[in-house]
Amino acid sequence: MEIRVGQGFDVHALVADRPLILGGVRVPYELGLAGHSDADVLIHAICDALLGAASLGDIGKHFPDTDPRFAGADSRLLLRHCASLLQQEGYRIVNVDSTLICQRPKLAPHIPQMREHLASDLQIPLPAVSVKATTTEQLGFAGRGEGIAAQAICLIRDV
């Protein structure tokens, strides 16, 4: 049996007049994340972890931010595509763990729904998907509320 790990990291800036979408959940907040797609920083980090685990490159390779097809794209579609690429390569996803690095807003109430979305898109059981949140104690860009970062790690194995 072959098992492989992958890790992903992403950052998007918080700006006015954009929705805040994390893990496919629209989180009520006065600012949202800037990006070519819906800027779902959590899903982008998970996509990179999955692609990295299978040595398939990164999210920018598969979904270039110069491609108008991805303008405003629902990142859940990108995540499902990454999961299907791994399946085609003969891998199955064992588990995903992730952390949102975000000073505001409070994300804990929204994490159960994020996990539901991710488990559904990855077609893995809910207990195999973990989402956590942390502030940076007001330090750095995240602490100043200028942006949100996410990191993710996954384990995959051959079918």
Ligand X SMILES: C[C@@]1(CO)OP(=O)(O)OP(=O)(O)OC[C@H]1O
Ligand Y SMILES: Nc1ccn([C@@H]2O[C@H](COP(=O)(O)O)[C@@H](O)[C@H]2O)c(=O)n1
With binding defined as CB under 6 A, does residue 44 bind ligand X? yes
With binding defined as CB under 6 A, does residue 65 bind ligand X? yes
Quick note: the x/- pattern for ligand X over 19-38, rule CB under 6 A, is: ----------------xxx-
Among 43, 102, 149, 150, binds ligand Y (CB under 6 A): 102
Say if residue 44 carries a ligand binding annotation. Answer: yes
Residue 55 region, left (φ>0) first, then alpha (ψ -120 to 50), else beta?
Answer: left
Among 16, 28, 108, 127, binds ligand Y (CB under 6 A): 108
Contact 6, 98 (CB under 8 A): no
First to last CA, the chain: 8
Provide the 10 A C-beta neighbour count for residue 1: 5
Instruction: Answer with the entry of ligand X, ligand Y, none that 35 interacts with (C-beta below 5 to 8 A by kind).
Output: ligand X
Provide the 10 A C-beta neighbour count for residue 84: 11
Write out the binding residues.
10-12, 36-37, 44, 58-60, 63-67, 134-137, 141, 144
